[in-house]
Structure 1
Amino acid sequence: MLWPSLLSAGVAQANEAGDWVAQAGWFFIAPHESSDPLRTELTPTALGALLGIGPEFESPGTAASVDRSDTLALTLTYFVTDHLAIKAEGGIPARFDLRGEGLVRPTGPAGALIGVDLGAPANNPLARARQWSPALLLQYYFFEPQLRLRPFVGVGATYTWFTDIELNPSFRDEVQRNFGAPLALAAGAPGPTHAEAESSPSWAPIFNAGLAYALGERWGVLASVSHVPLKTTSTIVLSAADGTRLARSETTIDLDPIVTSLLLSYRF
């Protein structure tokens, strides 16, 4: 039967206390996100008040989502005992696309003058960014170390931040033309405007489970799945040519990714 053969001993020396195990392979990251409607704060101006543009407004029906991604994974595990291991995870930062839907526009008469369509095909993806998520986990391996197949569970934490954030040129131009130009005029600073995006860093727990299979004395394969209750606040800041801040729009995105991995391991 297959199951007993998978569990059977026969590895000269499997992972046990004192072992270091290096692993390389692939992470597949599938966000299961939800987001709040976009909320916008405007710099108050006399002309803006005359046009009925309030200091802040929410845009019902707007939302943001993040595409799936995959990347190279590099990890290192140290077995404190035959069953307890500490694992550090890293690799090449994954690149994600941020997509949007809905209209951003103030209420009242100003809505006819100021607005951006987040869902327009030409505007999507709205932005791209790289996600850095180094992680540290404590894992428990079941069964004895001499067995080929060992399931495990783990818990840990990750600190996530984003770099190389790039706005879609079409989206950036629409924001600066349809949103920035009227606001700059109302602020008494007519002329070119500048849009910049950022995402907040955050800590998040990790819940992990998987299977490790020894191919031989030193080589093995490992498959796992992790849930990361991660959230971030995405922000777009719009400024006039002289640096005056005109508007700040933000939304909180619950990313909640499911991360699956397939790794080749080497014990030393």
Structure 2
Amino acid sequence: MHKSLLSASLFALALAAPLAHAFDAGDIIVRAGAITVAPKASSSSVKVDQGPLAGTNLGGKATMDNDTQLGLNFAYMLTNNIGIELLAASPFEHDVNLKGTGLGAANGKLGTLKHLPPTLSVVYYPLDNKSPFQPYVGAGINYTWIYDENLSSEAKSAGFSNFKAKNSWGLAFQVGADYMLTDNIMLNAQMRYIDIDTRATVENDAVAPGTRAKVDVGVDPFVYMVGLGYKF
């Protein structure tokens, strides 16, 4: 008798409890959390490309540090399993450093730059939408807008000026997972690889009038984000 009552009570509780249902066609998903851009920053050597020393190879390479900001995702489900997603974030800021160049004054912190990396992707959720755990994969296109390049005080005192970096188009790939806490609220974790290539240039009339150096940088960061999401 007691076992029958316990079984009946559990069955009634299961019926009464809300199911954490995942995604349906037409759902809008908003996610927010901490997002870190970790550049690999493989670069060419630093070369003089303008001025009387044009063609001089200064050697060395450029590096960039990590930065963490507020990340945002906006997704729209085309079907129960396929959606389109836009990645946005507050502006990232990175230190740009030069090391190993033949021009000693160029080594060290060159300056800082900011960028915004909007990325539009198609994402695929392979599991049935009744599962509260929803892993996914995605691929898309990234545009990285680089702006607000500023030289360090050390670089300025060494005669450098007019620090610039080019914007970038590239492919982006991602893996991630949502875990539905309720029918609308979810935990999210994701990792991306984004193809970002830029060319940075800087001038130095103190070396010789009209001198400009360039370096090609494969930023190619891994991007990590953890946060919460809400399904509308």
Q: TM-score, normalised by structure 1?
A: 0.75
Question: Partner residue of 2:42?
Answer: 34
Amino acid at match of 2:91: P
Q: Quick one: structure 1 residues 150 and 12, their matched pair in 2 at CA, closer, same or farther if it must change by over 3 Å? A: closer
Deviation at 1:245, TM superposition (A): 6.4
Supply the RMSD in Å over aligned alpha carbons: 2.0
Seq. identity, %: 25
Distance 1:245 1:93 in 2: 35
**Aligned with residue 29 of structure 2, among 5, 9, 21:** 21
For 1:219-238, list aligned pairs within 5 A.
219-238=185-204
* 1:87-124 CA distance string (max 9 Å, x none): 011120111111111234xxxxxxxxxx44333xxxx4
Matched, 1:198 2:164: yes
Distance 2:123 2:216 in 1: 31
Amino acid at match of 2:43: S
Are the equivalent residues in 1 in contact too, given 2:75–2:86 (CA < 8 A)? Answer: yes
Distance 1:69 1:260 in 2: 11
Question: Partner residue of 2:72?
Answer: 74
Structure number having the greater strand percentage: 2
Matched, 1:142 2:150: no
Are the equivalent residues in 2 in contact too, given 1:237–1:247 (CA < 8 A)? Answer: yes
Question: Partner residue of 1:246?
Answer: 210
Are the equivalent residues in 2 in contact too, given 1:161–1:199 (CA < 8 A)? Answer: no
Amino acid at match of 1:174: A
**Aligned with residue 110 of structure 2, among 105, 126, 131:** 126
**Aligned with residue 256 of structure 1, among 209, 220, 223:** 220
Number of aligned pairs? 215
Are the equivalent residues in 2 in contact too, given 1:10–1:147 (CA < 8 A)? Answer: no
Structure 1 stretches of 5 or more lacking a match?
A: 1-8, 45-53, 105-114, 177-194
Amino acid at match of 2:92: A
Amino acid at match of 1:65: T
Structure 2 stretches of 5 or more lacking a match?
A: 1-16
Deviation at 1:32, TM superposition (A): 1.4
Are the equivalent residues in 2 in contact too, given 1:71–1:91 (CA < 8 A)? Answer: yes
